[in-house]
Amino acid sequence: MKPVRVAVLAFEGVSLFHLSVPGIVFGVTPAPAGLPPYEVSYCAPDPGLVRCDQGMEIEVPGGLGAMDDADIVIVPAWNHPENAAPAVLSNALRQAHARGAQVVGLCLGAFVLGDAGLLDERRATTHWACRELFAQRFPKANFLPDVLYVDDGNVITSAGTVAAIDCCLNLVRQRHGADVANRVARLLVTPPHRQGGQAQYIEQPVPSLPSENRLPGVLEWAREHLSQPLSLDVLAEVARMSRRTFTRRFREATGMTFVKWLAAERIARAQQLLETTDLPIEQVATEAGFGSALSLRQHFASQLHTSPSAYRRLFCEGQRCTSD
């Protein structure tokens, strides 16, 4: 059986985790039936010793020529996403993609693919913490902020650090089918497909803006009274403003409508309760202001693409998880 050739990029400060993930997933042992041999090699713009983010030095003997015959080229998280990748690297990636190789950007490695022009008019993602910088640098990309990975025309990008495993498992699934990918996942003791996307990991809500000082104390008051019925009229009265003035200033301060802001705050409160308490789902819904467990589930499904109980299983402390 012909081996699948994988070239993984290394560079100064590269993530040791991302360097390891392709070899761990594609080289899992014992190899399950249906998984052909994979040859994982490492390359660098400047071959030789490369210091990774953990401080260890790794010998990388091959240059970018290793990409010339690779079936899959993988770029780990770029450690300086605000800086463009070297032109020699961009050229090598464009050539690899042009001849049919799958080009993968893990986490902030998506920025390197963007510098190579491979994300123009394509769907892509990256770590949620850099979503604004990504949107600024690559306005032609169709950025998807709440997925774990996305494949668009042999160009694959993934979200935050651990999503590299999800991404590589998906490559196995694409090439060899779900049964093989599931067996690989079982050997790795990891879910073959995680529910939801990175939306459930994003810090909700978006950090406060400096302009919130136009509404002194009102937003904090609302956060402290989420369990109560809240409306524009209630907050306008607390702020001692007319409804019209408050609506305008609220939009200026938060960048969103009151309804969206309130839903985000209530989801954030529910997340906190699910992470740190063993309250029943019904009580979490009441404390967060959703009124019913059904409403809480609907909002979680819509905004986080998961359920309250699944979220709790991921984040709660110990074994206190309850079901919804």
Reply yes or no on whether the pLDDT at 206 is more than 80: no
Could you report how far apart the first and last alpha carbons of the chain are, in Å? 47
Q: Which long-range contacts (CB under 8 A, 24 or more apart) does 161-167 make?
A: 161/15, 161/17, 161/18, 161/77, 161/107, 161/127, 163/106, 163/107, 163/198, 164/17, 164/18, 164/21, 164/76, 164/106, 164/107, 165/21, 165/24, 165/25, 165/190, 166/193, 166/194, 167/104, 167/106
Q: Considering only CA atoms, which of 126, 193, 116 is closest in space to residue 156?
A: 126
Within 10 A of 263 (CB to CB), how many other CB atoms are there?
19
pLDDT (0 to 100) of residue 107: 95
Within 10 A of 302 (CB to CB), how many other CB atoms are there?
11
In this predicted model, what pLDDT tens digit does every residue of 290-317 receive, in sequence order? Answer: 999 999 999 988 877 789 998 887 665 4
Reply yes or no on whether the pLDDT at 4 is more than 80: yes
> What is the H or E stretch that residue 7 is in?
strand 4-9
pLDDT (0 to 100) of residue 216: 60
d(CA 32, CA 293): 42
Question: What average pLDDT does range 227-243 have in this prediction?
Answer: 92
Q: Which of these ranges, 33-42, 80-89, 162-171, 265-274, has the smallest mean pLDDT?
A: 265-274
Pairing of strands 4-9, 38-43: parallel
Reply yes or no on whether the pLDDT at 77 is more than 90: yes
pLDDT (0 to 100) of residue 260: 86
Reply yes or no on whether the pLDDT at 174 is more than 80: yes
Report residue 215's pLDDT band, with 50, 70 and 90 as the boundaries: low
The answer to whether 69 and 36 are in contact (CB under 8 A) is no
pLDDT (0 to 100) of residue 208: 46
Reply yes or no on whether the pLDDT at 37 is more than 90: yes
In the beta sheet, which residues pair with residue 124?
Answer: 143
Within 10 A of 218 (CB to CB), how many other CB atoms are there?
21
Average pLDDT over the chain reads 87
In this predicted model, what pLDDT tens digit does every residue of 52-76 receive, in sequence order? Answer: 999 999 999 899 999 999 999 999 9
Residue keyed to tokens 């906190």: 272
In the beta sheet, which residues pair with residue 6?
Answer: 40, 72
Reply yes or no on whether the pLDDT at 211 is more than 60: no
- For helices 258-276 and 293-303, the axis angle rounded to 10 degrees is 100
Q: Considering only CA atoms, which of 307, 305, 267, 309 is closest in space to residue 287?
A: 267
Question: What average pLDDT does range 251-264 have in this prediction?
Answer: 82
Reply yes or no on whether the pLDDT at 146 is more than 90: no
In this predicted model, what pLDDT tens digit does every residue of 16-29 receive, in sequence order? Answer: 999 999 999 999 99
pLDDT (0 to 100) of residue 40: 96
In this predicted model, what pLDDT tens digit does every residue of 276-294 receive, in sequence order? Answer: 788 999 999 999 999 999 9
In this predicted model, what pLDDT tens digit does every residue of 109-133 receive, in sequence order? Answer: 999 999 999 999 999 999 988 988 9
